[in-house]
Amino acid sequence: MDITTDLKELLYAAGAELVGIADLTGVENCEYPVGVSVAIPLPPTIIEKVKVAPDQEYFEIYQDLNRRLDSIVAQGADFLIEKGFRSLALAKKLCFYDENNRTALPYKTVATLGGLGWIGKNCLLVTPEYGSAIRLSVLLTEAPLITDEPILTSGCENCDLCVTACPAAALHNTNWSAGMDRELIVDAKACEQKALQITEQELGFPVTICGKCFAVCLRTQKWLEL
């Protein structure tokens, strides 16, 4: 039995569009040796709207994708547990943020180590397939899965579309490499405060979704042109 292939087939059947398996040996704040990153793209129809401002439809889709991702990683964890391997679906409710809006194990870290993409100048994961127009989740496990080749450097090169589009002027036009501190890429406080301001105005309540930086991403736009 090829448990790696079986797991990937299960995750794709459950609705994942991208799956990457990461070697997490030595990663801080992680007691599991393997992480499975899964991604779902946002509907293309919503992305052009987000270029202008987040609306109620985007907020609802955002929440729906989070629920779908929680279900996908839960199914993967159940599968591996049944095979006898300690596993944990890192659902949204298990992701606790500190006062600096950081989590112990960012989804993006697992995604880059699992080969799904790199951290863009927008400080979001950028995938070759969908750009930054994706939502992520993670499954942690002790199963001996075959890991994918990590991505450790940026593919953004000279593109600065997200930098110029950021309404908070929070992006520093920095090409990422693995291990780089987040603050070299983005002023996270400025980003958060502007997102709260925009959503209060557009939705009637504050929430940290904005979306302009992923909507204008060159890789996102190339996907939409396919």
pLDDT digits (tens, 9 = 90+) for 177-202: 999 999 999 999 999 999 999 999 99
Residue 118: exposure state from Cβ atoms within 10 A (0-12, 13-18, ≥19): buried
| Residue 199 confidence (pLDDT) | 95
87 contacts 141 by C-beta, under 8 angstroms: yes
Task: Identify the three-state secondary structure at position 185.
Answer: coil
Q: Residue 70's pLDDT band (boundaries 50, 70, 90)? A: very high
pLDDT at 25 over 70: yes
Question: For the residues 95-111, what does the mean pLDDT come to?
Answer: 79
Query: Which residue, chain included where needed, has tokens 């697992």?
Result: 110
Buried/exposed code over 22-59 (b: 16+ C-beta within 10 A; e: otherwise): bbbeebeebebbbbbbbbbbbeeebbeebeebbbeebb
Rounded mean pLDDT, 39-67 = 93
Q: What is the per-residue pLDDT for 98? A: 64
Q: Please tell me the predicted confidence (pLDDT) of residue 186.
A: 96
Average pLDDT of the chain?
Answer: 94
3-state secondary structure of 32: coil
Q: Is the pLDDT of residue 1 over 90?
A: no
pLDDT score recorded for residue 110: 96
Which pLDDT band holds residue 93 (cuts at 50, 70, 90)?
Answer: confident
Q: What share of the chain is helix, strand, coil (3-state, %, to 5)?
A: 40, 15, 40
pLDDT over 90, % of the chain: 88
* pLDDT band of 97, cuts 50, 70, 90: low
27 within 8 A of 109, measured Cβ to Cβ: yes
What's this model's pTM, rounded to 2 decimal places?
Answer: 0.93
Q: 97: helix, coil or strand?
A: coil
The single-letter DSSP state of residue 101 is S
How would residue 226 be classed by pLDDT, with cut points 50, 70 and 90? low
What CA–CA distance (Å, rounded) separates 70 from 136? 9
| Range from 13-17, 26-30, 64-68 carrying the lowest mean pLDDT | 26-30
- pLDDT class for 118, splitting at 50, 70, 90? very high
Host H or E run for residue 171: none
> Token digits for 47?
């992305």
Residue 150: C-alpha distances to residues 15, 20, 80, 114, 218 (Å):
23, 9, 23, 5, 22
What is the DSSP track for 103-170? -SS-HHHHHHHTTS-EE-TTSSEEBTTTBT-EEEEEEEE-S-PPPPPP--B-S-TT--HHHHH-TT--
- Is the pLDDT confidence value at 101 over 80? no
pLDDT of residue 183: 94
- Least Cα distance to 20 among 95, 105, 113, 124 occurs for 113
